[in-house]
Amino acid sequence: MSTDQVTYPYGYAQEQPPVYPQAPVKQPGNGLALAAIIVGIVGALVAIIPFVGFVGAVAGLVAVGLGIAGIVRARKVNKGLALAIVGLVAGLAATPIAIVTTVAATAVVVEAVDEAVDEAIVQAEDDVAIGKVSADVDGDAVIEVTVTNSADVARTYTFGVVATTLDGSVVAETYFVTAEIGPGQSQTLSELFVDGNYEFVDPAVLNGCEFNVTDMFAV
């Protein structure tokens, strides 16, 4: 008998079971670490934008939570530790960045508003022409002013006029409130002066005094 011939019992060949390829084993990942770095970087970038930085600060807090969870996960699956740490650091940086940006932007806006208000006050004070002091029928001092609106819109003026000596001491004062004055239009008003005791004063008391506009408010 040939040595190459295979003899099967019962006179037929046995079928071998089929061999199937094994599915690859899925490696555990660390999505928390990836989420931490994405949210952290986005939060830090948004935090730079003035007045919306608080959104970046909130995202930063979320990134901190994700980063901590990602670090814990990385210790279990040995993956994503660097991403989690970077996300954690970016999240921690987002809040102070947002605070600094918001404070700086607010300071710039406040300064700009103050300058605009100061400029408007100076312009409004220049709209007031102080006239002469006279006496009313009772012999009390009356000051006359003329207000000319130099703005492009209608305005109502509220202001005071003080009489001061050469050394700056206030002798008497009075206040004016105009009706609405259209652009380029004028209004003339007169009011009685009062002293520090809110008593009317004699015109002679105001001789040699300087008269200045104060407490201007124009809207």
Number of residues that make up the chain: 219
Q: Which CATH class is domain 128-218?
A: mainly beta
Residues paired with 189 in a beta bridge: 145
pLDDT at 18: 66
pLDDT, one tens digit for every residue, the chain (219 residues): 455 555 555 555 556 666 656 656 566 778 888 998 999 999 989 988 888 888 888 999 999 999 999 999 888 888 889 998 998 999 999 888 988 988 888 898 888 888 777 766 667 888 999 999 999 999 999 999 999 999 898 999 999 999 999 888 999 999 999 999 999 999 999 999 999 899 999 999 999 999 999 988 888
Cα 197-203-205 angle, rounded to 5 deg: 60
Q: Are 31 and 82 in contact (CB under 8 A)?
A: no
**195-204, Cβ contacts within 8 angstroms, sequence gap of 24 or more:** 195/171, 196/170, 200/138, 200/140, 200/141, 201/140, 201/141, 201/171, 201/172, 202/135, 202/139, 202/140, 202/141, 203/133, 203/134, 203/135, 203/139, 203/140, 203/141
How does DSSP classify residue 158?
E
pLDDT at 219: 81
The CA–CA distances, whole Å, from 87 to 8, 35, 42, 107 equal: 67, 8, 10, 30
| Straight-line distance from the first to the last Cα atom of the chain, in angstroms, rounded to the nearest whole number | 123
Task: Please count the other Cβ atoms lying within 10 Å of the Cβ belonging to residue 169.
Answer: 9
**pTM for this one?**
0.51
> d(Cα 102, Cα 98) in Å, to the nearest integer?
6
pLDDT at 31: 87
Sheet with 210-218: strands ordered across: 170-177, 157-164, 210-218
